[in-house]
């Protein structure tokens, strides 16, 4: 029996197979109930007592070796199968078509149009910061503490001493520019602003504005009007009319709000313009001399105009969007309707 076990040990070491069918045959030959090893264990009872210990050990070695060998072979086959799965990819096949190619957000489309329109008449683009100090967002713009005009804008304060806010208007960028550049200045500043408003179809706690600023030796209200008329025609079409209504902003004097003739009904009256034929799109005015002084520009030598508009409002009018919240929900069904660059 010892000889037989030695022979089988040698045989186990030399096992070579090519496929899984042979692997199964091996398993049956060696490890099944009627296999070689089981039958050796059956014969074990006939081994004389004095040899039992030695033969028993030999038999156990054989069993372990056969088990290990067959398990190792099984693992190798499984690994090969996995590798085959990945290797079988045909790299020459055409790719899976992407039917949802990304496009610019409607607010970005309109912002870029505004930039393009003003750049044609010499306006550069400047960017400010979204976290502002009190001076740039309010005080330099003639809106000191306790000034009633602060109530016009519900502010998110992020620090009270010193006072830091999420900017409520891009007018804050005006201040930075005037503090740091010498006139002539001709620039627009697009960006995000924040107000502590309840979210609805018509209001949001975040939205976008574009601020415009023009400072030079002889800037008049007529320049402001002509610039805005040019903008309205470029943005909404040649037939667009504008009208300026007297208004109030702390940082401009005189101040005005500008309406355009309704883009939907062309002035005859509809629900977008509430029957009036006009829709408001921006605030503007001549920069208050005190604001120039606050920012280090001598109002005796320089004058300027400024304007500010909401990008959402322009976009809603242009595309007839009725709910402001759509801009921030990122619903693909909404976004994919806008494909321009």
Q: Which of residues 224-253 bind ligand DAH (CB under 6 A)?
A: 249, 252
Q: How far is the CB of 133 from ligand DAH (least distance, A)?
A: 17
CA angle 335/337/341 to nearest 5° reads: 85
Per CB under 6 A, 283 contacts ligand DAH: yes
Binding mask 285-304 for ligand DAH (x = CB under 6 A): x-------------------
Q: How far is the CB of 307 from ligand DAH (least distance, A)?
A: 5
Q: Which of residues 15-54 bind ligand DAH (CB under 6 A)?
A: none
Distance, in Å, from the CA atom of 15 to the CA atom of 208, rounded to the nearest integer, reads: 76
Whether 211 and 170 have beta carbons less than 8 Å apart is answered as: yes
Of the pair 73, 110, the CB lying nearest ligand DAH is at: 110
Strand partners, 2: none
Whether 314 and 231 have beta carbons less than 8 Å apart is answered as: no
The size of the interface with ligand DAH (CB under 6 A), counted in residues, is: 11
Residue that the structure tokens 């109530």 belong to = 151
Cα R_g (the chain), whole angstroms: 40
Of the pair 249, 327, the CB lying nearest ligand DAH is at: 249
Of the pair 106, 285, the CB lying nearest ligand DAH is at: 285
One of 308, 312, 316, 327 touching ligand DAH (CB under 6 A): 308
Q: How far is the CB of 284 from ligand DAH (least distance, A)?
A: 5
One of 224, 284, 292, 317 touching ligand DAH (CB under 6 A): 284
Per CB under 6 A, 137 contacts ligand DAH: no
Q: Own/partner pairs for 44-50, CB < 8 Å, 24+ apart? A: 47/1
Of the pair 30, 249, the CB lying nearest ligand DAH is at: 249
Strands (E), the chain: 124-125, 131-133, 157-160, 163-166, 185-194, 206-216, 242-249, 252-261, 278-287, 303-310
Distance, in Å, from the CA atom of 154 to the CA atom of 197, rounded to the nearest integer, reads: 7
One of 177, 242, 306, 324 touching ligand DAH (CB under 6 A): 306
Of the pair 66, 256, the CB lying nearest ligand DAH is at: 256
How many other C-beta atoms are found inside a 10 Å radius of the C-beta of residue 333? 7
Distance, in Å, from the CA atom of 160 to the CA atom of 132, rounded to the nearest integer, reads: 12
Q: Which of residues 209-228 bind ligand DAH (CB under 6 A)?
A: 211
Per CB under 6 A, 123 contacts ligand DAH: no
Strand partners, 245: 257
Distance, in Å, from the CA atom of 3 to the CA atom of 250, rounded to the nearest integer, reads: 109
One of 171, 189, 227, 315 touching ligand DAH (CB under 6 A): 171
Q: Using CB atoms, what's the residue nearest to ligand DAH?
A: 308
Catalog residues that contact ligand DAH under the rule CB under 6 A. 169, 171, 211, 249, 252, 283-285, 306-308
């Amino acid at each position: 029996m010892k000889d037989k076990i030695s022979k089988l040990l040698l045989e186990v070491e030399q096992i070579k197979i090519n496929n899984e069918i042979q692997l199964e045959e091996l398993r049956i030959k060696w490890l099944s109930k009627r296999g070689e090893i089981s039958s050796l264990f059956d014969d074990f009872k006939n081994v004389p007592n004095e040899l039992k210990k030695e033969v028993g050990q030999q038999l156990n070695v054989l069993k372990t070796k056969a088990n290990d060998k067959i398990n190792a072979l099984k693992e190798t086959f499984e690994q090969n199968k996995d590798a085959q799965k990945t290797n079988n990819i045909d790299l020459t096949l055409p790719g899976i078509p992407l039917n949802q190619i990304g496009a610019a957000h409607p607010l970005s489309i309109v912002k870029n149009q505004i930039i393009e329109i003003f750049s044609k008449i010499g306006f550069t683009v400047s960017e400010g910061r979204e976290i502002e100090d009190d001076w740039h967002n309010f005080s330099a713009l003639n809106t000191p503490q306790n000034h009633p005009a602060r109530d016009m804008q519900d502010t998110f304060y992020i620090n009270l001493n010193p006072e830091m806010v999420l900017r409520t208007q891009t007018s804050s960028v005006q201040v930075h520019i005037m503090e740091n550049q010498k006139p002539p200045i001709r620039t627009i500043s697009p960006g995000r602003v924040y107000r502590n408003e309840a979210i609805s179809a018509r209001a949001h706690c975040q939205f976008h504005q574009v601020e415009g600023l023009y400072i030079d030796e002889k800037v008049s209200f007529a320049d402001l009007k002509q610039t805005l008329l040019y903008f309205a025609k470029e943005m909404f079409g040649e037939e667009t009319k504008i009208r300026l209504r007297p208004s109030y902003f702390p940082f401009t004097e005189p101040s005005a709000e500008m309406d355009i003739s309704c883009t939907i009904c062309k002035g005859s009256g509809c629900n977008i313009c509430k029957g009036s034929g006009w829709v408001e799109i921006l605030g503007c005015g001549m920069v208050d001399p005190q604001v120039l002084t606050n920012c280090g520009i001598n109002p005796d030598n320089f004058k300027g105009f400024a304007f500010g508009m909401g990008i959402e409002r322009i976009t809603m009018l242009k595309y007839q969007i009725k709910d402001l919240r759509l801009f921030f929900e990122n619903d693909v069904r909404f976004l994919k309707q806008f494909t321009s660059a």
